[in-house]
Amino acid sequence: MSFFNLKDRYLWLFVFLSGLFITNAITAELISNKLIEIPQLNLFGFTLGPFTTIVGILPWPIVFLITDLLNEFYGKSVVKRLSWITAALIFYCFIIVGFSLQIPAKEIEGSLLADNASYNLVFGQAQMVIVGSIVAFLFSQLLDAYLFSWIKSKTGDRYIWLRSTGSTVFSQIIDTYIVLYIGFVLPGSLSFEEFFKIAPTNYVLKLLIAVLLTPFIYIGHAAIRSYLKNAKA
């Protein structure tokens, strides 16, 4: 028995996917003030890595996946509008974090709570990461939405993997280089030499993630079509 008609299911599916999209995008910005190293990976006889990247990359596979699902079932215009809304919410976080930096911490001896120095060190750097991420996010998401839609117009419902991976190949060049430059090079956290070493490996890692996500994109498509198919007319 279905509790929602087709229109309701489209609406609640959009609410769910949008919530996941926004939550993961904002989480990625807030945790990006940390570099990590991913050890060498051996895949199908090829050795890749090690990769130096920002820890904020962890939620991005979900953003990649949901972007493609939204584009597939709701269209390019919806992805563009949601991207602008998400960028505005990230900017809202930027304002709140910036305001919090101006409020002195109540320091208690022996407490594990952050003092002014440690709090400002983490979230002060995060401010520049957020600025870079807003710019990179908008450019990359709008480009991804356009490329995904363009490839779909040429291939129809075939080759889901092509429009998913193909749009990511180009959009993530912009995302990777802009966010690292604004968020880490401009504040002086990375030198140009380190930037040109980290950015390419970060980009390759994102492409690898996009390829590995391909089966989940097909699973997501099948699950959504089944969910919508079982709705009341």
The reported pLDDT for the residue numbered 88 is 92
Amino acid at 195: F
The reported pLDDT for the residue numbered 184 is 81
What count of Cα atoms within 13 Å lies in the side-chain half-sphere of residue 100?
Answer: 17
The reported pLDDT for the residue numbered 126 is 65
Domain map (residue ranges) of the chain: 6-229
pTM to 2 decimals? 0.81
Of 138, 121, 119, nearest to 179 by C-alpha is 138
Ranges of H-type helices in the chain: 6-30, 60-74, 76-101, 116-155, 160-180, 192-212, 214-229
The reported pLDDT for the residue numbered 15 is 92
Of 135, 174, 170, 136, nearest to 151 by C-alpha is 170
Of 56, 59, 55, nearest to 24 by C-alpha is 59
**Position of tokens 């994109």?**
217
6-229 classified as CATH 1.10.760? no
Walk along the chain (233 residues) and give the pLDDT tens digit of each residue: 445 566 788 888 999 999 999 999 988 888 877 777 877 777 667 676 677 777 878 888 888 889 889 988 898 899 999 999 999 998 898 888 888 888 887 777 777 677 777 777 777 766 777 788 788 888 888 888 888 889 888 888 788 888 888 888 888 888 888 888 887 888 787 888 888 888 888 888 888 887 888 888 889 888 988 888 876 54
- Report residue 105: phi and psi, to 5°: -80, 145
The reported pLDDT for the residue numbered 19 is 94
